[in-house]
Structure 1
Amino acid sequence: MKGYLGGKDLEDKELRAQLQTCYFTLSQIKAATNNFDHASKIGEGGFGPVYKGVLSDGAVIAVKQLSAKSKQGNREFVNEIGMISALQHPNLVRLYGCCIEGNQLLLIYEYMENNSLARALFGRPEHQLNLDWPTRKKICVGIARGLAYLHEESRLKIVHRDIKATNVLLDKDLNAKISDFGLAKLDEEENTHISTRIAGTIGYMAPEYAMRGYLTDKADVYSFGVVALEIVSGKCNTNYRPKEDFVYLLDWAYVLQEQGNLLELVDPVLGTNYPEEEAMRMLNLSLLCTNPSPSLRPSMSSVENMLEGKSPIQAPIIKRSSLNEDMRFKAFEKLSQDSQTHVSTTFSQESQVQRSISSMDGPWIDSSNSIKSGNETGDYSSSKKLVPDLYDVHLD
């Protein structure tokens, strides 16, 4: 059987033989999703819709239907799937396998019963979850452990690049699992005049990455700090502005830290049902992780130890007045025309910004780039989602 994938004819059977992960037939997936019935649809990602399915053995799955317009070479697609499926950790959404048949490109994931952290915190009232303090702490620790695995423990040193509440999914026991690492290359357009791009979500991007394209694991640490602040406060970083002269929730947090009133940020829903010492620990850790200087941010394994009280947290007090000219605020000013959109910044060869992906221990891999991305390029429009959510939930 021949199909048309990535703009090239190929033998499906030959391609499937290269897979290092479980292969599902199209008939299996159609049966599981009732032929991709609209009632089975649970989200719409940047690459296409996501469906809930039930296999013949009763296993519940999430099926991401990739866009047929993907132009990535099929062998690179197979390599990418193999890389993603090899990354297995309790705090990562597991990729079970894929289906490559005819003109279909499907990814099959474990199903997450409680959808995204964003919906649990900021969704419609009927979708929000009553997260008590122990659960919020468990979610924070889970995210930290997942990132520590990607950064330090996995065979590949991977930078996620788009950590945010919509990319953290919750299972039936409200355990946090990170989604959407390693997928953006699957939708890359064939353009050769662009040498560098920046992708992420405004309000979560580290300033050095947003402004200079400098990418290390510390960019994920920054994003984690923002998400941790959202978990404690129950407020979305990009939607909360107590006063007009504050950029984001994080901006207000710096002011309250300077005033010694950080606990004002704790979600009122919790009432007094939280340990103040732990709340202060998590808030100070959020500010430490979002330090404007990447060298002053801790590693994710250190973050995990701090969350669990195994090591002290010393978050420096950064006065907002000293940040007015800081590149973090310049980055916000430059990028925040629409704080709810994804960012895709491209640079021509005349104005290249060389992105640095480096580590003391080894090469860092951008989670949206394939292993063979050394001389590959991509061109994206600002309206295009680069690292879409597994369940792309509309919160309003």
Structure 2
Amino acid sequence: MLQSVNLKSGNLITAWIDYMNGKKKLDIFLSYSSFKPEKPLLTVNIDLSRYLNEFMYVGFSASTEGSTELHYIENWSFQTMGFHPVRPRIHPHNVSDSSVPHTPPTPVSNSGNKHHERIRLGLGIGFPAFFCSVLVVFGWISVKKWRDSRTEKSLKAELVTGPRQYSYKEIKSATRGFHSSRIVGHGAFGTVYKAFFTELGTTSAVKRSKHAHEGKTEFLAELSIIACLRHKNLVPLQGWCVEKGELLLVYEFMPHGSLDSLLYADSENGNPLQWSYRYNIAVGLASVLTYLHQECEQQVIHRDVKTSNIMLDANYNARLGDFGLARIMDHGKSPVSTLTAGTMGYLAPEYLQYGKATEKTDVFSYGVVILELASGRRPIERETESHKMVNLVDWVWMLHSEGKIIEAADKNMNGEYDKKEMKKLLLVGLSCANPDSMERPPMRGVLQILNNEAEPMVVPKAKPTLTFSNSLPLSIDDIVLDCEDSVMPESQFEIRLE
């Protein structure tokens, strides 16, 4: 931030860099408008005469080194002016003072000299400046026409092959001014609205960031990551809008909403999600995580895999969404410690301890989701009789240790499920939610097990215990006890420290 100009605002910024060789001074001006401010934001005393010539080539380059770019150059120009013309000699060559009679100069008034000097100086500076200005204006018009033509062509291509840029007016009209009746969900970074685009004849979901200035990082992360991804089990991104201080993402509308609403609300109403859909959701989610972890050019760590971020299309296929916390890293590269972010109950123990998100932290979250699908229970919920908070992973592992893991199956299904598949899903869930990250299977291995291409992993009867070099800030038991003392009405608890 430089005074009143925020370099990360996303607004168009004009910069002027002026160097005056006579004063050996470099001035830098910044403004949101095209009018140059009176005072520079930065002044540096430096001699650049060695590097600047009357005729020279000028350019610049930059690199983000694989990171997401925050700025780009709309257009630029370079000009020099004010070079003094070569003054003529006062006396002709090869003429001595003695060969020509000395004639005293005609006296001229001081004011006349000054007047002519001003005219010469004005012509010497004004004409080149005018000529350069004409060239700049002509070049700007030509470049603008070319850019407009290129942008129009690229947008037409994007309508078919990728996300397009929507206008704020379009989205506001499609959501009836972001009316409360169009709200279909709330996420960590904003609200989701149902939108009807009458001109396109389509229905979409619009994600609106709750605080544009705070959600810019998450918005850019989600846009830059998901715009490059292509998989049948991802929520397709249709477009975006950055206008009037709003950060908006437009997604394909998912008719059946989120998995958690179908898994819990519908079950409570006597309409449980049928088994074939549940198993298919587990397979689809394993497939897309395999893609993100192992098949993309760079590894994508989602960091927020949970039932509320899994949407269901018209055929009840799983579609993973909400990449606001996602991170990209090179394959085989060690993760960097970050502030812990995610939802309690889905967070791997080592992530809570060290803050390092890897593919194995996503695998842990996937394991919890699988256990939810099989049991119909939330990751952490209050027991009806004892009113104690129970951790889902611990509860299923206890049943497994007693040799009756099948009793973890969702009672609301009334036994209408394939017992072999149910047991397989529960064992896969436990193997993925193993406290020891080294013992968790890769997502490709999970997919092979679910597709009957490999045998399930052997899950130990006793839940493994894990110790860290430093004391764990929150153990699973601490989490349960903390939730037990909480007065929050929901049974899930979110950590949002980023």
Superposed pair shares fold, TM > 0.5: yes
Secondary structure in structure 2 of the residue aligned to 1:260: coil
- 1:305-384 equivalences in 2 (<5 Å): 305-320=448-463, 323=465, 330-336=474-480, 337-338=482-483, 340-344=492-496, 380=498
Q: 1:123, CA displacement in angstroms?
A: 2.1
Q: What residue number does 1:98 align with?
A: 240
Runs of 5+ unmatched residues, structure 2: 1-5, 14-31, 33-72, 76-147, 156-161, 328-336, 484-490
Q: Residue 302 of structure 2: which of 154, 160, 163 is its match? A: 160
Larger Rg: 2
1:34 aligns with 2:186: no
Q: 1:261, CA displacement in angstroms?
A: 0.1
Q: Residue 203 of structure 2: which of 44, 52, 60 is its match? A: 60
Q: Residue 82 of structure 1: which of 224, 240, 247 is its match? A: 224
Q: What residue number does 1:9 align with?
A: 11
Give the Cα–Cα distance (whole angstroms) in 1 for the partners of residues 419 and 472 of structure 2. Answer: 29
Deviations 1:338-375 (A, max 9, x none): 46221145xxxxxxxxxxxxxxxxxxxxxxxxxxxxxx
Q: What residue number does 1:351 align with?
A: none
Greater mean deviation of Cα atoms: 269-278 or 297-306: 269-278
Deviations 1:138-168 (A, max 9, x none): 0110111111111111222011111111111
Q: 1:5, CA displacement in angstroms?
A: 9.9
1:47 aligns with 2:189: yes
Q: 1:206, CA displacement in angstroms?
A: 0.8
State whether residues 163 and 204 of structure 1, in contact with CA within 8 Å, keep that contact through their aligned partners in structure 2.
Answer: yes
Give the Cα–Cα distance (whole angstroms) in 2 for the partners of residues 276 and 179 of structure 1. Answer: 30
Give the Cα–Cα distance (whole angstroms) in 2 for the partners of residues 150 and 65 of structure 1. Answer: 25
State whether residues 120 and 128 of structure 1, in contact with CA within 8 Å, keep that contact through their aligned partners in structure 2.
Answer: no
Q: 1:42, CA displacement in angstroms?
A: 1.4
Equivalent residue pairs, number = 333
Give the Cα–Cα distance (whole angstroms) in 2 for the partners of residues 316 and 79 of structure 1. Answer: 37
Q: What residue number does 2:315 align with?
A: 173
Q: What residue number does 1:360 align with?
A: none
Alpha carbons of structure 1 residues 288 and 256: separation in structure 2 relative to 1, 3 Å: same
1:298 aligns with 2:463: no
Q: What residue number does 1:121 align with?
A: 263
Q: 1:26, CA displacement in angstroms?
A: 1.2
Q: 1:227, CA displacement in angstroms?
A: 0.6
Task: Tell me how large the CA RMSD over aligned residues is.
Answer: 3.4
One-letter amino acid of the counterpart of residue 42, structure 1: V
One-letter amino acid of the counterpart of residue 263, structure 1: I
Give the Cα–Cα distance (whole angstroms) in 1 for the partners of residues 7 and 239 of structure 2. Answer: 17
Secondary structure in structure 1 of the residue aligned to 2:195: strand
State whether residues 304 and 326 of structure 2, in contact with CA within 8 Å, keep that contact through their aligned partners in structure 1.
Answer: no
State whether residues 120 and 127 of structure 1, in contact with CA within 8 Å, keep that contact through their aligned partners in structure 2.
Answer: no
Deviations 1:86-126 (A, max 9, x none): 11211111111101122121110111111111111112667
| TM-score, length of structure 2 as denominator length | 0.60
Give the Cα–Cα distance (whole angstroms) in 2 for the partners of residues 67 and 59 of structure 1. Answer: 25
Secondary structure in structure 1 of the residue aligned to 2:288: helix
State whether residues 254 and 313 of structure 2, in contact with CA within 8 Å, keep that contact through their aligned partners in structure 1.
Answer: yes
Quote the sequence identity (%): 35
Give the Cα–Cα distance (whole angstroms) in 1 for the partners of residues 230 and 451 of structure 2. Answer: 23
Q: What residue number does 1:141 align with?
A: 283
State whether residues 121 and 129 of structure 1, in contact with CA within 8 Å, keep that contact through their aligned partners in structure 2.
Answer: no
Give the Cα–Cα distance (whole angstroms) in 2 for the partners of residues 83 and 325 of structure 1. Answer: 35
